[in-house]
């Protein structure tokens, strides 16, 4: 309720309803004169009309101010979030304006970093023209990746599988089983 010179709107409404129930003659007797009551009722009606006009002007000025601030932050506010920010600006203008200002600064900083080239993506290289990676083989010769991998990989897989079998069957540590499996598998290839 808005206070009107020390009297709330609720009190004014209640006094009007009491005067309407009593009638003009009784209301005049209670107030101390019929002419005074009518003058008070007319002045109250006039004040209410003024209050309504002023309230409409205040609402129009608030809307104008909010629309101006929404225009100031147009780069930050999308059409989807415009209603939300309108409510925030009406309920707590200072906090909403500072939040929008921070969003604007963050957006400008992000756009500035893109313009400076710090966020550029590196191009993918052509894999066919890249040089082949070489590694040292078991015997000391260079092995080109992809050429002997299937044979070397199958040998490594066989050694690992045999080492696991030896661990389970003989209950020995994996390192010992691996050494024995390596000797068995590599010994087979020599023969």
Q: In terms of domains, do 41 and 63 share one? A: yes
The DSSP result for the chain, as a single string, is --EETTEEHHHHHHHHHHHHHH-HHHHHHHHT-HHHHHHHHHHHHHHHHHHHHHHHHHHHHHHHHHHHHHHHTTTT--TTTHHHHHHHHHH-HHHHHHHHHHHHHHHHHHHHHHHHTTTPPPPPPPTTTSPPPEEE-SSS-EEETTTSHHHHHHHHHHHHHHHHHHHHHH---HHHHHHHHHHHHHHHHH-
Domain limits for position 171: 149-190
Q: In terms of domains, do 31 and 87 share one? A: no
More confident residue, 33 or 86: 86
Q: Flag whether pLDDT at 4 surpasses 50.
A: no
Q: What is the pLDDT of residues 58-93, one digit of tens each?
A: 999 999 998 898 888 888 888 888 889 889 888 988
More confident residue, 16 or 38: 38
In this structure, is residue 65 part of a structural domain? Answer: yes
Q: Flag whether pLDDT at 102 surpasses 80.
A: yes
Q: What is the pLDDT of residues 40-57, one digit of tens each?
A: 999 999 999 999 999 999
Number of folded domains that form the chain: 3
Q: What is the pLDDT of residues 143-174, one digit of tens each?
A: 554 555 566 678 889 999 999 999 999 999 99
Q: In terms of domains, do 8 and 29 share one? A: yes
Q: In terms of domains, do 31 and 50 share one? A: yes
In this structure, is residue 169 part of a structural domain? Answer: yes
């Amino acid at each position: 309720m808005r206070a009107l010179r020390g009297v709330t709107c609720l009190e004014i409404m209640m006094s009007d309803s009491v005067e309407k129930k009593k009638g003009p003659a009784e209301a005049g007797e209670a107030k101390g004169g019929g002419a005074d009551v009518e003058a008070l009722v007319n002045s109250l009606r006039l004040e209410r009309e003024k209050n309504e006009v002023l309230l409409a002007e205040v609402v129009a000025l608030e809307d104008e101010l909010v629309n101006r601030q929404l225009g100031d932050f147009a780069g930050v506010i999308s059409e989807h979030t415009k209603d939300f920010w309108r409510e925030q600006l009406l309920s707590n203008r200072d906090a909403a304006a500072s939040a929008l200002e921070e969003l604007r600064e963050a957006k400008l900083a992000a756009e500035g970093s893109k313009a400076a080239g710090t966020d550029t993506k590196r191009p993918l290289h052509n894999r066919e023209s890249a040089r082949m990676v070489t590694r040292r083989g078991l015997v000391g010769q260079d092995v080109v990746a992809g050429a002997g991998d299937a044979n070397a990989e199958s040998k490594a897989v066989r050694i690992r599988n045999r080492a696991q079998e030896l661990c389970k069957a003989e209950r020995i540590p994996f390192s010992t089983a691996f050494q024995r499996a390596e000797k068995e598998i590599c010994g087979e290839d020599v023969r």
